[in-house]
Amino acid sequence: MTYDVVALVRQAPDVRALVDSMAEAGPDLTIEGAGEGAVIRLRDGSGRPVLAIEAAQKVDVPGEVERLLGDQAAADMPDPCWWVEARAAGAGPDPAGLAHRFADALTGRLGGAVWPPRPVGRGSAAAPEQDGRK
């Protein structure tokens, strides 16, 4: 099972912001591009993919974040914003924590919000309800 996190950022993510955020998420992981830049993967020491990051998509349509993620996510959303989705493989240690470390680092650099938010007082989040997702 995978764990998905969305970073809704205020600025278009450049290569430096993405690479720095990936390094902060897992300094021992290696970065691999795929699909002509559409997906970037982080791999562990054995070469196993542990996090896939999709190319950023600009969200220009009013109400689109609310439709996809719900009222609460829309209330915290920058407008307009860029949608960056990260999908962690469920087999690694703390996949939710890895995905959140990346998304938190990216929104820390570019401003924005993370969905689902990390539960208060926990190092990693439980799997979110995926209903209403694209």
Per-residue pLDDT at 52 = 93
Give the separation between CA 49 and CA 130, rounded to whole angstroms. 22
pLDDT at 131 over 50: no
Among the ranges given (4-13, 18-27, 59-68), the one the predictor scored with the smallest mean pLDDT: 59-68
Pairing of strands 3-9, 30-34: unpaired
Give the separation between CA 94 and CA 102, rounded to whole angstroms. 13
Instruction: For residue range 50-97, list pLDDT tens digits in order.
Output: 999 999 999 988 888 888 888 877 777 777 899 999 999 877 778 999
Domain 3-115 has CATH 3.30.1400: yes
Distances (CA, A) of 13 to 17, 86, 94, 105: 6, 14, 25, 12
Q: What are the boundaries of each domain within the chain?
A: 3-115
Task: Look at the pTM and tell me if it is higher than 0.85.
Answer: no
pLDDT band (50, 70, 90) for residue 120: low
